[in-house]
A and B are shown apart, each in its own frame.
Chain A
């Protein structure tokens, strides 16, 4: 079982890769909309990537109002 820290780290790595961000440039407290310059549809794309990676289902409602990696990681962790 992953720890929350591990989950967070994996999410940051996935987001870095998916959105071609500079390695090591993302932090848990970052607002991913702002930091990555993405819109709500791209955020949904990220969710699909997370589902495939963690083998979970993340309903859209789970991430309503979530805009930072830390909270996103908590939502993922709760479903692992």
Chain B
């Protein structure tokens, strides 16, 4: 691993990495079980530098912003390196957002360059919202068919120039990325991440879960997500390890990739982990009675022998077939993006497959706490990583309060949102909005959320405000969307739901017709943004002088009502 204390920016570290391990493979790309490509660090450099030169020739300067909207693939990382090489700031966006959301964030981030894939560009380019982001001057498109209409974009393959590009170094405090942690309906929350944020986070994470040449990381989480950017790009690269990309995420091909590439690490969201669990359980249940008894006996022995810490060679021996299904080289499954149920984590640990469960948020880099597995604790999110100060603010008699974080990995602030930044980072402490407490052994336990948002099992942050626009024009006096937990706090991180609160016009009733209209509008939202119930509130909403709803006050009033009595489920 490179000594990151010697580097001031991501580009400088990756530049040394490609020179340190030129013959090592850094990227594998597979599509439907067929390996399409494997790229060495030298080849990675040979593809990135002509692109960097082309960008510089096109006027891309230090500090300029370039966005990537791509599925996980080699060109994502090659493009990112080219941007960092030029001293640019990367704006990674979620390829699953709608075109108008993409343009809104492109405008907000002030990106001058967009690098995307043809299937995405085909939809994004025809959106009327394109006119709203004139700041995007250059668009590069990968995978474009030969005669495709590129709508004034340039083929990524043509974006290469001869000659050596000029490497532009950045300071640790300079902006490396603008990472959006929410949608666009409310206030776009663009986390300004510095180079120091990433360098420090990488040191902290690799101290517990190291990479080395020969490690193969399976990249399933979108690379725009803070976790995959760290453990599916920067982390492995500064250690000479390799990243495996799949062009389809069908479960059957993901399963096959484990054995084909003998994967060392993989990061998943809880939903995927549960799916893996379900698949394994089905297979166990199908075992003949005798084999099943033997298997259960081996599982119990493994559980007993790994109580204090993982012993991978032993687990691989005892539960050979299970480990063989994961390729036999798996060191850990990293799970993140949302809260994971303890029984799911325990299921894997009992099979001898360590699950690196932790807690993090984009605003704090990637991870704040991680389970160090010594011993494994399914009921907590682990201890703070090296370099992280974590405290519980205003704890109640049970020790439960808001989790606050102070660390070199905490973002510089929200882009163009000074007020929101001031509310979020108070005296150097990042107020996470998550509720938790420390147990006697220093492990953090999460117990609900204080902010008006939910996180889905797929790791999606959904801010209640972002959902409101779909109900615009609803025939009611006023309306507001809340996370149910914001109104009725629950000491749980699962089963979170959104609720629509309406105040009817005077003399009007909550009719079936209105309910049907709400249902119809709700259907227009992607499934994870949908509301689960409606509350018809009989009084005027509290408003500011500028007629904005005072959400906290309204939530407080609603909190006095019983949820099961006032909420009409949809």
A interface, CB within 8 angstroms of B: 31, 33-34, 39-41, 44-45, 47-48, 57, 59-62, 64-65, 67
Contacts and interface: CB of A to CB of B under 8 A. Distances in A.
Nearest to B31: A59
A31 B523 contact: yes
Contacts of A59: 119, 247-248
B117 to A, nearest CB: 8
Contact of B96 (A34, A44, A57, A64): A64
Sorting the interface of chain B by its residue count into under 10, 10 to 19, 20 to 34 or 35 or more gives 20 to 34
B119 A44 contact: no
22 contacts: A34-B523, A34-B527, A34-B530, A39-B458, A40-B458, A41-B251, A41-B272, A44-B250, A44-B251, A47-B250, A59-B119, A59-B247, A59-B248, A60-B247, A60-B248, A64-B95, A64-B96, A65-B96, A65-B98, A65-B526, A67-B526, A67-B527
B249 interface: yes
Given A44-B251, A61-B95, A65-B98, 19 more contacts: A31-B523, A31-B527, A34-B523, A39-B271, A39-B457, A39-B458, A40-B458, A41-B275, A44-B249, A44-B250, A48-B250, A57-B32, A59-B119, A59-B247, A59-B248, A60-B249, A61-B71, A61-B119, A65-B526
Majority secondary structure, B binding face? loop
B252 interface: yes
Contacts of A48: 250, 252
Nearest to A64: B96
Contacts of A67: 526-527
Given A39-B271, A40-B271, A61-B119, A33 B248 contact: no
B536 interface: no
B348 to A, nearest CB: 17
Majority secondary structure, A binding face? helix
B249 A62 contact: no
A35 B554 CA distance: 33
A62 B118 CA distance: 12
Given A40-B271, A40-B458, A59-B119, A45 B249 contact: no
Find the residue from A33, A41, A59 having the highest chain B CB count within 10 A.
A41
Contacts of B32: 57
Interface in B235-279: 247-252, 271-272, 275
A40 B275 CA distance: 11
B140 to A, nearest CB: 17
Contacts of B526: 65, 67
Contacts of B361: none
A34 B532 CA distance: 11
Contacts of B271: 39-41
Contacts of A31: 523, 527
Nearest to A29: B523
Which 8 pairs across A and B sit closest by C-beta, in order of nearness? A61-B119, A33-B527, A41-B275, A44-B250, A60-B248, A48-B250, A31-B523, A39-B271
Contacts of B530: 34
Interface in B511-529: 523, 526-527
A62 B251 contact: no
Nearest to A43: B527
Interface string B423-465: 0000000000000000000000000000000000110000000
Interface string B78-119: 000000000000000001101000000000000000000101
Contacts of A64: 95-96
Contacts of B458: 39-40
B120 interface: yes
A57 to B, nearest CB: 8
A40 B527 CA distance: 9
Contacts of B119: 59, 61-62
Find the residue from B32, B271, B275 having the highest chain A CB count within 10 A.
B275
A41 to B, nearest CB: 5
Find the residue from B247, B251, B527 having the highest chain A CB count within 10 A.
B527
Interface in B26-46: 32
A76 to B, nearest CB: 16
Nearest to A58: B248
B530 to A, nearest CB: 8
B273 to A, nearest CB: 11
Contacts of A34: 523, 527, 530
Find the residue from B98, B247, B250 having the highest chain A CB count within 10 A.
B250
A67 B527 CA distance: 8
Contacts of B252: 48
B527 to A, nearest CB: 4
